[in-house]
């Protein structure tokens, strides 16, 4: 199913670049990606990154995909009346030139149902899905601390 969605993503990107949109295939960039190492048997890991939009147009992130996790999501932690909660983030908009920081205590990738045991030094692949159908991919190393 993930493969089908990936193929569909490429198809959408291709059909888009074949028409008028071809002038600008600028895409946002994932920087400093990492996944926090978790104890053996953990069913959820957290991923962090900086998402930079070097383009002259705003970009909208709508979802996250990964072959290494059964259920990846974008979450935001926030403290409401002294209690820390996590919310699912439906859409993230980056203005031209803007960088969004995913860091402990704030925005994060909630990476649920890992497909295999992950230890420090392993790597996972994660794609952010853009509203226009494109994907932004990065390899995320599993680490104990932020790079």
Residue whose CB is less far from Cu ion, 15 or 44:
44
- Nearest approach in angstroms of CB 123 to Cu ion is 21
Nearer to Cu ion, 16 or 37 (CB): 37
In this chain, which stretch among 2-10, 29-37, 67-75, 97-105 interacts with Cu ion, using CB under 5 A? 67-75
Question: How many Å apart are CA 146 and CA 139, to the nearest integer?
Answer: 15
In this chain, which stretch among 35-43, 64-72, 73-81, 137-145 interacts with Cu ion, using CB under 5 A?
Answer: 73-81
Minimum gap (Å) between residue 108 Cβ and Cu ion: 6
**Smallest gap, in angstroms, from Cβ of residue 112 to Cu ion?**
9
> What residues form DSSP beta bridges with 47?
35, 109
* Nearest distance from C-beta of residue 44 to Cu ion, angstroms: 8
CA 28, 34, 40 angle in degrees (round to 5)? 145
36/75 with CB nearer Cu ion: 75
| Closer residue to Cu ion (CB): 75 or 134 | 75
Which residues, 75 to 134, sit near Cu ion by CB under 5 A? 75, 86, 110
Question: How distant, in Å, are the alpha carbons of 112, 115, 143 from that of 71?
Answer: 5, 10, 20
Length of the chain equals 147
Residues that bind Cu ion (CB under 5 A): 75, 86, 110
């Amino acid at each position: 199913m993930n493969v089908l969605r990936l193929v569909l993503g490429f198809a959408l990107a291709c059909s888009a670049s074949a028409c008028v949109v071809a002038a600008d295939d600028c895409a946002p960039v994932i920087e400093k990606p990492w996944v926090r190492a978790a104890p053996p048997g953990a069913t959820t890991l957290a991923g962090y990154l900086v998402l930079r939009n070097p383009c002259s147009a705003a970009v909208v992130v709508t979802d996250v995909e990964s072959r290494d996790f059964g259920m990846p999501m974008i979450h935001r932690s926030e403290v409401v009346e002294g209690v820390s909660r996590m919310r699912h983030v439906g859409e993230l908009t980056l203005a031209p030139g803007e960088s969004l920081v995913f860091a402990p205590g704030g925005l994060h990738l909630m990476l649920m149902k890992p497909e295999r045991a992950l230890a420090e030094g392993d790597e996972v692949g994660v794609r952010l899905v853009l509203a226009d159908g494109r994907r932004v991919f990065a390899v995320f190393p599993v680490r104990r601390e932020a790079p």
